[in-house]
């Protein structure tokens, strides 16, 4: 149980294009999903918290107009990197929270590797 | 900044118990201790979490000191597949995003 998928697993795009990444909770519903980013040899950094049916909450320094998040259902959140540039190349990982109320656990997807040329 | 301190790396022989320490001296009363691990180029995998009592599941045991200022993750019989970066994280759980530190790179030696 508690499986989270991401699609695509990797993507290469040209500078200036937009890329959409999907995050799905396969066997549970998640009111809250999270998006993280990981640069090479660094740890994961939280980008934003996504709540179903409401606007995402972005961490300081993360541009909300560049990283568009949509959490349209209890099993799907999407991250769109708009007008991607080489510095946006990174490993993007989502997670979904489930479990006992007030001590929910986050389960992570396998990640999406983005390379912007 | 992460609220935990972990050794950057550890070695352990295959088949032996791996004991990974974590200091979290500023943990608040309602924060849980969560452990995750990340195998190279994959998303983090949840291992275990606890509040103040020791916990055990099919993957590991979590020992939390009485003052809750430190904890130890125990992998009872380490295998080569346990080689990964292990993250100790304190969190309120639920809607709280996780703050990852640098973790401990555990290397299981054959």
pLDDT at A16 over 90: yes
pLDDT at A1 over 80: no
**Percent share of chain B, pLDDT over 90:** 86
pLDDT value for A100:
78
Which letter does DSSP use for residue B34 in this model?
E
Contact of B33 with B64, CB cutoff 8 Å: yes
CA distance A50 to A23: 11
- How many inter-chain contacts (A to B, CB under 8 Å) are there? 66
Confidence of residue A102 (pLDDT cuts 50, 70, 90): confident
B51 touches chain A (CB under 8 A): yes
Contact of B104 with B10, CB cutoff 8 Å: yes
Closest A-chain CA to B85:
A43
Q: Which of A106, A112, A113, A114 to mutate to test the interface with B (most CBs of B within 10 A)?
A: A106
pLDDT at A79 over 90: yes
Contact of A3 with A106, CB cutoff 8 Å: no
The whole-angstrom distance between B84's CA and the closest CA on chain A is: 13
Residues of B in contact with A109 (CB under 8 A): 43
Q: What pLDDT digit, counting tens, does each position of A19-58 carry?
A: 999 999 999 998 899 999 999 999 999 999 998 888 899 9
The whole-angstrom distance between A82's CA and the closest CA on chain B is: 23
pLDDT value for A99:
82
- B53 vs A108: which has the higher pLDDT: A108
Q: Which of B31, B41, B44 to mutate to test the interface with A (most CBs of A within 10 A)?
A: B44
Q: What pLDDT digit, counting tens, does each position of B23-48 carry?
A: 999 999 889 999 999 998 899 999 99
Q: What mean pLDDT is reported for chain A?
A: 93
Whether B42 sits inside 8 A of A2 (CB atoms) is no
pLDDT value for A31:
85
pLDDT value for A103:
76
């Amino acid at each position: 149980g508690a499986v989270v998928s991401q699609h695509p697993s990797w993507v290469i795009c040209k500078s200036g294009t937009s890329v959409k990444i999907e995050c799905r909770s396969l066997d549970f519903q998640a009111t809250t999903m999270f998006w993280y980013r990981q640069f090479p040899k660094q740890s994961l950094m939280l980008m934003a918290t996504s709540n179903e049916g409401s606007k995402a909450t972005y961490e300081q320094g993360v541009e909300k107009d560049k990283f568009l998040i949509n959490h349209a259902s209890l099993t799907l959140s999407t991250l769109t990197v708009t007008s991607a540039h080489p510095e946006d190349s990174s490993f993007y990982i989502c997670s979904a929270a489930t479990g006992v109320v007030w001590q929910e656990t986050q389960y992570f997807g396998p990640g999406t590797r983005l390379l912007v040329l | 900044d992460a609220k935990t301190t972990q050794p950057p790396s550890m070695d352990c022989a295959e088949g032996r118990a791996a004991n990974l320490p974590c200091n979290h001296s500023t943990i608040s009363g309602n924060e849980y201790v969560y452990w995750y691990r990340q195998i190279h180029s994959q998303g983090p995998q949840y291992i275990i979490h606890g509040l103040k009592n020791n916990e055990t599941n099919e993957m590991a045991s979590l020992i939390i000191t009485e003052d809750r200022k430190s904890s130890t993750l125990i992998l009872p019989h380490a295998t080569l597949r346990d080689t990964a970066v292990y993250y100790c994280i304190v969190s309120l759980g639920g809607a709280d995003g996780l703050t990852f530190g640098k973790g401990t790179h555990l290397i299981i030696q054959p």
